[in-house]
C-alpha cells in the first residue's frame, strides 16, 4: 500500500510532528483563524484499493468536505507480513468559500501509511490525529475481508456511522457481526435515493390496496455493473410492499442489457393490472407505465444516482 500512500497528495511530515506540520501549513493562510471543523472521518483504504481508486475517493471526500468541514484521517495499511515496522504520515489542507465571502470552510487530511508490525500502535496514533470532541465517522473502502476489521474495534465501536459500499465489499460484509449494526450504512443503497424517491412518488398516487391486491411477483432486471444497487433497490421495494400488506409475493432479479439499465415489473393475478418502470442512467431518463385499476398512467422522469460526495453525507447524517 505504499503505492497508495505515495499517490495521495500532501506534504510528508514526521508522525510525531503532525500538529506542528499543520501549524506551519496554515501559518500564512487567511483562513488560519476560521478553521473550525464539524466532524472526524476515518477513510480506511483496504487491500483491494489501487492508487487510482485511492485518488478518486480522496476527491470525493474533498467534495464532501466543501459542505461539511472535517478532519480526515486516511489509513493506508501495508499488508506485507514481513515488512519492517514503519509508519509514515502526510498532511494536506485546503479551504473553500461557502455561501458567502465570510464563510470559509476548511478540510485537513492526515494520511497514515503503516505496516502490520506497528498496527498495535495505530489506535493511539489515530486518536492523536482526530479533532477533539468532534463526532467520528468510519468508512471502510475495498477491504478484502470483513473479519479483518476486527483489528479496528476501536473505530467500529466509537463511530457514529460505519460506511461501506456493497458494490466493492466482500461477501462476508453481510454476515459480519458488526458491534453496532444500527450504525452501519451501505453507500450502494444511499446512491439509489433519487430512484427511490421517484418510485415512491409515482406509486403514492395509488391506494396501498390497489398496489398489493393480487400482486404475485416483482422482477427487477439490471445491467451486471448495477448488481449491488439493484439488490438494495429490490430490498427497499420488498419492505415497502410488506408494510402495505403484501403477502406471498415472489421477488426476483434478472439480467438486462445496456450499461446503466434498470427495469422493474409487477405481475398480478389479474392480467389487466400492470406496473412497469425502466431507467437508463447513462441518459438520465426513466419511464413509468401502469394501470392498477384506475386507468393507464405514464410518466417520464430523470434517473440518476446521488453523486459520491452527496451519498457520503446522506449515509452519515440520515
Position 124 scores a pLDDT of 93
What's the whole-number mean pLDDT along residues 14-30? 87
Q: What is the pTM (predicted TM-score) of this model?
A: 0.94
C-alpha cell at 109: 487530511
The pLDDT tens digits of the residues spanning 61-91 come to 999 998 899 999 999 999 988 899 999 999 9
Residues 179-184: contacts with CB within 8 Å, 24+ apart? 179/153, 180/156, 183/159
Position 33 scores a pLDDT of 59
Report the distance separating Cα 300 and Cα 52, nearest Å. Answer: 37
CB 55 within 8 A of CB 150: no
Report the distance separating Cα 22 and Cα 31, nearest Å. Answer: 13
Position 28 scores a pLDDT of 72
- The four Cα atoms 208, 210, 211, 215 give a dihedral, to 10 degrees, of 130
Position 25 scores a pLDDT of 86
Report the distance separating Cα 87 and Cα 229, nearest Å. Answer: 37
Provide CB contacts within 8 A for 244, sequence distance 6+: 208, 211, 212
**Judging by beta carbons within 10 Å of its beta carbon (0-12, 13-18, 19+), is residue 144 exposed, middle or buried?**
middle
Q: Which domains does the chain have, with CATH numbers?
A: 2-187 (no CATH), 193-301 (3.40.30)
Over 60: is that where the pLDDT of 1 sits?
no
What's the alpha-carbon Rg for the chain, to the nearest Å?
Answer: 23
Closest CA to 162 of 318, 317, 316: 316
Over 80: is that where the pLDDT of 34 sits?
no
The pLDDT tens digits of the residues spanning 238-265 come to 999 999 999 999 999 999 999 999 999 9
Amino acid at each position: 500500500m505504499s503505492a497508495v500512500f505515495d499517490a495521495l497528495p500532501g506534504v510528508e511530515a514526521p508522525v510525531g510532528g503532525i500538529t506542528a506540520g499543520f501549524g506551519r501549513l496554515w501559518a500564512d493562510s487567511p483562513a488560519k483563524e476560521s478553521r473550525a471543523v464539524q466532524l472526524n472521518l476515518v477513510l480506511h483504504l483496504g487491500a483491494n484499493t489501487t492508487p487510482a481508486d485511492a485518488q478518486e475517493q480522496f476527491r470525493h471526500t474533498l467534495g464532501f468536505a466543501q459542505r461539511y468541514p472535517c478532519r480526515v484521517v486516511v489509513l493506508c495499511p501495508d499488508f506485507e507480513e514481513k515488512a519492517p515496522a514503519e509508519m509514515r504520515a502526510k498532511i494536506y489542507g485546503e479551504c473553500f468559500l461557502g455561501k458567502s465571502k465570510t464563510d470559509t470552510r476548511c478540510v485537513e487530511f492526515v494520511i497514515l501509511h503503516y505496516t502490520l508490525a506497528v498496527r498495535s500502535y495505530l489506535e493511539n496514533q489515530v486518536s492523536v490525529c482526530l479533532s477533539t470532541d468532534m463526532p467520528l465517522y468510519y468508512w471502510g473502502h475495498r477491504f478484502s475481508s470483513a473479519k479483518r476489521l476486527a483489528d479496528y474495534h476501536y473505530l467500529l465501536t466509537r463511530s457514529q456511522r460505519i460506511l461501506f459500499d456493497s458494490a466493492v465489499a466482500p461477501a462476508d460484509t453481510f454476515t459480519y457481526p458488526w458491534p453496532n449494526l444500527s450504525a452501519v450504512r451501505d453507500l450502494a443503497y444511499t446512491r439509489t435515493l433519487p430512484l427511490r424517491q421517484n418510485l415512491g412518488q409515482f406509486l403514492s398516487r395509488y391506494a396501498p390496496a390497489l398496489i398489493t391486491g393480487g400482486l404475485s411477483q416483482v422482477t427487477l432486471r439490471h445491467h451486471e455493473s448495477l448488481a449491488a444497487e439493484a439488490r438494495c433497490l429490490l430490498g427497499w421495494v420488498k419492505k415497502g410492499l410488506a408494510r402495505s400488506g403484501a403477502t406471498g409475493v415472489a421477488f426476483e432479479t434478472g439480467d438486462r442489457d445496456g450499461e446503466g439499465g434498470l427495469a422493474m415489473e409487477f405481475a398480478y393475478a389479474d392480467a389487466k393490472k400492470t406496473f412497469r418502470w425502466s431507467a437508463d442512467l447513462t441518459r438520465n431518463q426513466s419511464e413509468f407505465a401502469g394501470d392498477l385499476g384506475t386507468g393507464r398512467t405514464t410518466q417520464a422522469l430523470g434517473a440518476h444516482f446521488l453523486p459520491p460526495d452527496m451519498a457520503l453525507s446522506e449515509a452519515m447524517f440520515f
